[in-house]
Amino acid sequence: MWPLRWAMPIKHKNILLYPDLDLENDRKLHKSKTYALWWRKAQALSRQGFKIAVSDFLEEHASTYDRLQKHDIADFFMNDRILRKITPKK
């Protein structure tokens, strides 16, 4: 059954997904294959009433090393790089 029953309690919540990084690209979306997969699933859930979006923050700010390591949002927070990118300079 799609969507799964366990997902129903969050159906009317705003959901923001942060896909892991990947080095391989999806030709249609010009993003990583992982991003494209999550984006397609989010679109399917959106058609069923879910309020869901996929962030491309990691896609836009990742280095090649990050992609090779298949980093995720937690890796960026642990390395503090995300905070330096979004915090205004004094």
pLDDT tens digits along 28-86: 878 889 999 999 999 999 998 999 999 999 998 888 888 889 999 988 877 766 566 66
Helices (H) and strands (E) in the chain, counts: 5, 4
Strands 51-54 vs 31-32: parallel, antiparallel or unpaired:
unpaired
> What is the pLDDT confidence band of residue 1, given thresholds at 50, 70 and 90?
very low
- The pTM of the whole model exceeds 0.85: no
Ordered by start, the domain boundaries in the chain are 15-86
Q: Which of 4, 39, 3, 8 is nearest to 22 (CA)?
A: 39
Interatomic CA distance for residues 61 and 53, integer angstroms: 18
Strands 25-26 vs 31-32: parallel, antiparallel or unpaired:
antiparallel
Q: Which of 58, 75, 76, 74 is nearest to 22 (CA)?
A: 58
